[in-house]
Structure 1
Amino acid sequence: MSHPIPFPAWQRPHWQPNDEEIVLQFYVFGDFKPVRVPSAPYGSDGLPEEVELSSHHHSSLREWDGYPLKGALGELFENDSPEAFEKAVAAPQVLVIRGRFKDSPDTGYLRDVFGVLAGLLDIGGVAILDPQILTLFDAEEWRDRYVVKDGAPLRNHVLILRDQEEDSDRLWIHTRGLRKFGRPDISLHDVPPAQVDRAGTLVQRLMELQALGARFVDGQTLDVDGMFGGLVAELGGGYDHPQFNNTYVAFYWPGHE
């Protein structure tokens, strides 16, 4: 067990009210002691009322259509995190945590849920799956990433991906996980390979602005230093979108013929 470090509840200084919901979902694998979850040392008052926790025997959950450790997703987690995958598969119990919240000017909801997740690792949890960022952590990896003095960087809560555009040498930089903040994911298309580092920094900055409460509107122009004409926001997507499982705000790098 690591020494508890309280999670902060960040204010969102750029917060603008938004009709979209904040969505959280986690799977915690382990063999849990029948005791109260020690979340208070992590600054958590326990799970918010909007959050549901369900406990499952792992053997029964394996039959569920949405079981995340089988099929293509299971192969992804096994390849990316073989040690965590082995621990998760061997665990006799699985706790599923799900919650939906109205948009909020602070992240107290995230502090409370993460405090419970940390507490569960202290009483028998061996792995945590965050399906929104397609990542399976063993207990030590999760603590190293999130149980950090003054809170983990916002970047740690969101996945930034780079893919090749179809029929082009240009790149697509995009995020997953901004549903945790009730915001659309970022999608930046047509990035020239020579500009990939600059584009990655830009996407991270846009992600952080949204996590801190900013929002974009359809057709909004975004001025970028050194970029003629800037970027124009295009809103789309939805929770059933295959790449994002979320709404998205798309931008296109200028100058693509």
Structure 2
Amino acid sequence: MTATPEAWPRPYWQPSEETVVLYFYVFGRFAVDLAIPAARYASRGLPEGVELQRFAHNALRGWEGYPLKGALGELLQEDAPDAFDRARAAPDVLVIRGELPDRDSLDYLRDTLGVLAGLLDVGGSAILDPQILTLFDAEGWRRHYLVAGGAPPRNHVLILRNEDDGDGRSHVYTRGLRKFGRPDLSFRRVPDAQAGQAGLLCERLVELAALGARFVEGQPLEVDGLAGGLVAHPSGSLDDPRFNNTHVAFDWPAQAG
């Protein structure tokens, strides 16, 4: 059965020179002649610029970038032990990867997610999204992403919190907005008592960015209950390991908290 694709618009889209990056590993056992029922999920197939490569799992285990070993492997095993065991045991690995110019709709994401869903129907047992450091088993991925009308942008992005300078303040930031061709978000020196507020603000700004909004240098951001608001400062590089992306920095007011 074929579902009719519905447009995924970006109502706040502003053109940019940013690049959309898609990157997924699908672990499983797949037929030699692989037929992907992507149309079942309203997908037209992988967008131009995104490719699928197939590997025997054993051929990847010694690769320096193999994601199930090292620090990332330890993190994935701790966070999702069942999915990790399924991924490790899978004989095949499919890598979906590509870069696209920024665009005014999210149809590319709809189509890619449809391919991923189809792969779970024909032998996939786990999907790794390295941009958000998350490994899903098949059912977990379906629950997270196969949402009527499309999963909310928050589901595609990781929001993290780390201690910042050890004085009762936190660094609240995101990973994953490269999937939308947007810099990630960084809130430095947030009082621990306001970290929850910063997390909720991240969620709102993630949705705006995913739907196309951009922040420019010096752009003010008013925040309810925060005197003086915040100011945007685009910063960083794509090689920054914390974000795997550029980011927009917002310094929390010194008097807050």
**Mapped partners of 2:84, 2:14: distance in 1:** 39
Q: Which amino acid aligns with 2:72?
A: L
Are the counterparts in 2 of residues 7 and 151 from structure 1 also a CA contact under 8 Å? no
Q: Which amino acid aligns with 2:97?
A: R
**Mapped partners of 2:6, 2:123: distance in 1:** 24
How far is the alpha carbon of 1:195 from its aligned partner? 1.3
Are the counterparts in 2 of residues 44 and 115 from structure 1 also a CA contact under 8 Å? yes
Are the counterparts in 2 of residues 5 and 147 from structure 1 also a CA contact under 8 Å? no
Matches within 5 A, 1:1-257: 9-33=7-31, 34-256=33-255
**Mapped partners of 2:6, 2:133: distance in 1:** 24
**Aligned pair in 2 of structure 1 residues 7, 138: CA closer, same or farther (>3 Å)?**
farther
What SS does the aligned partner of 2:37 have? coil
**Mapped partners of 1:84, 1:132: distance in 2:** 17
What SS does the aligned partner of 2:187 have? strand
**Mapped partners of 1:90, 1:7: distance in 2:** 34
Identity of aligned residues (%): 60
Are the counterparts in 2 of residues 9 and 110 from structure 1 also a CA contact under 8 Å? no
**Mapped partners of 1:69, 1:226: distance in 2:** 43
Q: Which amino acid aligns with 1:146?
A: Y
How far is the alpha carbon of 1:40 from its aligned partner? 0.3
Are the counterparts in 1 of residues 177 and 210 from structure 2 also a CA contact under 8 Å? yes
**Mapped partners of 2:52, 2:96: distance in 1:** 5
After superposition, the C-alpha distances for 1:176-222 in whole angstroms (9 at most, x for unaligned) are: 00000000000011111221221111111111110110000112111
What SS does the aligned partner of 2:160 have? strand
How far is the alpha carbon of 1:120 from its aligned partner? 0.3
Q: Which amino acid aligns with 2:217?
A: D
**Mapped partners of 1:172, 1:243: distance in 2:** 11
- The count of residues paired between Structure 1 and Structure 2 equals 255
TM-score (norm 2): 0.95
**Mapped partners of 1:233, 1:76: distance in 2:** 31
What SS does the aligned partner of 2:161 have? strand
Q: Which amino acid aligns with 2:144?
A: R
Are the counterparts in 2 of residues 61 and 67 from structure 1 also a CA contact under 8 Å? yes
Q: Which structure 2 residue ranges, 5 or more long, are not aligned?
A: none
How far is the alpha carbon of 1:5 from its aligned partner? 7.4
Q: Which amino acid aligns with 1:73?
A: L
Are the counterparts in 2 of residues 18 and 103 from structure 1 also a CA contact under 8 Å? yes
